Amino acid sequence: MALSELNCSKINVDPRRSKLRVPVPSDCSVDIPSPNGRLLISTNPVRDEDEHVTLRATGGLVVRGLQQPMTILWNPKSTGFLINDGEGSGQVSRLRYFHWNGRRWQESRALDRSGTALYKRRYDCRARRDSYTNVSGLAWTAGGLLRTIVQEGVHSAGCIQPYEDRNVLFEVIGDPMTGRIVSSREVRTLR
């Protein structure tokens, strides 16, 4: 589903929504079942422009204060999901991962932090206080790891970049719970 396709009725009836990155609209409720059908994520509609999206999941998880643009993606084993949280700006993406251990939910931002640290080291952003990155979860590997893209933020103070257009896409594959990075590489286009 593309981010531009925010038709609430189409999202809620699409049988693929448990396996795709689902854009979360602000103007309606969205239900996203886990791939095995045992867990469910539901979001609420936002009634005024100062309100934020609230997410609820089977097992008592409530996440408040989510801001657009936002997408959700379950892992194939139905043991967790990620949120690409736009934090309201449309220029930021923070990766948040939620893991279900059968009794309770645990949140981790470890891969967001380790991907950012690796990017800042590689592109020499360490000395600049106002440098920041965007981290977005894209897809799951066959081995259960998360494929992410890390980029320098739009209003970042700047890193030493190898390209004049500053459009470096840095792929990081790792464990979203522990933040352990298995591989990383620079890519020019997303596939």
What average pLDDT score do residues 106-128 get?
87
Q: Of residues 69 and 100, which shows the higher confidence score? A: 100
| Residue 1 contacts residue 23 (beta carbons within 8 Å) | yes
Tell me what pLDDT residue 68 has: 79
According to DSSP, residue 45 is labeled P
Is 149's pLDDT higher than 50? yes
Indicate the pTM of the whole model. Answer: 0.88
What pLDDT, on a 0 to 100 scale, did the predictor assign at position 75?
97
CB 111 within 8 A of CB 69: no
CA-nearest of 129, 120, 32 to 71 is 32
Q: Do residues 52 and 35 lie in contact, with contact meaning Cβ atoms separated by under 8 Å? A: no
Instruction: State how far the Cα of 123 lies from the Cα of 187, in Å rounded to an integer.
Output: 14
Structure tokens at 65: 């204060």
* pLDDT tier at 87, thresholds 50, 70, 90: confident
Instruction: Compute the average pLDDT of residues 69-87.
Output: 92
pLDDT of residue 1: 38
Helices marked H in 99-160: 110-122
Torsion of CA 120, 131, 3, 163, to 10 degrees: -60
Cβ-based neighbours of 172, under 8 Å, separated by 6 or more: 111, 114, 115, 118, 119, 135, 147, 148, 149, 150, 181, 183, 184
- The residues spanned by each domain of the chain are 1-107, 109-191
